[in-house]
Structure 1
Amino acid sequence: MATVRNLKIKTSTCKRIVKELHSYEKEVEREAAKTADMKDKGADHYDLKQQENVLAESRMMIPDCRKRLEASLADLKELWLSWRKQMRRKAQNSKMLTAP
């Protein structure tokens, strides 16, 4: 049974995941710039390798985040359709009760 509370929860979940996705995208930009800067300055090979690992980990989080967002959006859509169906049934029932 879909409720307004459940719809708010699912909507908040989607919003949170979108913020998380944007955060990872910004992190990838920052880490890529830092890696490029380290390469330009001729940083130590070990430090550069560590920075590349950090960048790779950040990049791996984006597809995972997108999958979670797609799943959350699908859940929200399903719940919303269920709620809409319930509201239509309620409206029909109330019309039938008030009809002469």
Structure 2
Amino acid sequence: LAKFSKFAVRLFQTSDGVPPRIRLRGGFFGFLSGAGFSRPSPRCTTKAEEATIPHHHPHERTRSIMTTLRNLKIKTSTCKRILKELHSYEKEVEKEAAKTADMKEKGADPYDLKQQENVLAESRMMIPDCRKRLEASLADLKETLAEVKESNQQGAEIDEAASVISELEAFFQNSEA
């Protein structure tokens, strides 16, 4: 039993007696960092040190390509989702505006009318925020597509991203006019 406990202690501690989890995470929630526990330094800090690292796995480039195409696909679907969200907010504003106008015509209770106007104002506030997010995600998608094209990659994701970009640019031109 005594041998087992020594083995267990060795198993869960490094040569300096610090459990590996504490060393890797820099202490529990960082409060142990002042007590001598810190994160390990980066593997390499200079180009000379970087040159001494052995070459990567032969499929590393393939993984990088797949990662880039995956990022492109994710950013494309993000743009689609935000555009769909923007359209739903615009429909909601139209619906709430019609409801508010109907309430005004019928001479509804002033309190109910005020509540409906607040709902309409909240719906209208969401549109500019959604447009900003869409513009940011469009710029991000364009940047990622340029990176993918520079690396001469092929795939259906590239065509889909290009069509989404042209659709969004047409949407922004039509909404500005």
Alignment of 1:1-100 (within 5 A): 3-87=68-152
3-state DSSP class of the match of 2:114? helix
Q: Which AA in structure 1 matches 2:83?
A: V
Question: CA offsets, 1:44-63, max 9 Å, x none?
Answer: 00000000000000001000
Question: CA offsets, 1:23-74, max 9 Å, x none?
Answer: 0000000000000000000000000000000000000100000000000000
Runs of 4+ in 1 over 2 A off after TM superposition: none
C-alpha separation in 2, matches of 1:86 and 1:53: 50
Q: For structure 2, which runs of at least 5 residues remain unmatched after alignment?
A: 1-63, 154-177
C-alpha separation in 2, matches of 1:19 and 1:84: 27
Alpha-carbon shift at residue 81 of structure 1 (Å): 0.4
Q: CA RMSD in A?
A: 1.2
Q: Which AA in structure 1 matches 2:85?
A: E
Q: TM-score, normalised by structure 1?
A: 0.84
Higher relative contact order, structure no. (Cα contacts within 8 Å, ≥ 6 residues apart): 1
Alpha-carbon shift at residue 3 of structure 1 (Å): 1.3
Look at both structures and tell me which one has the larger radius of gyration over its CA atoms.
Answer: 2
C-alpha separation in 2, matches of 1:35 and 1:74: 36
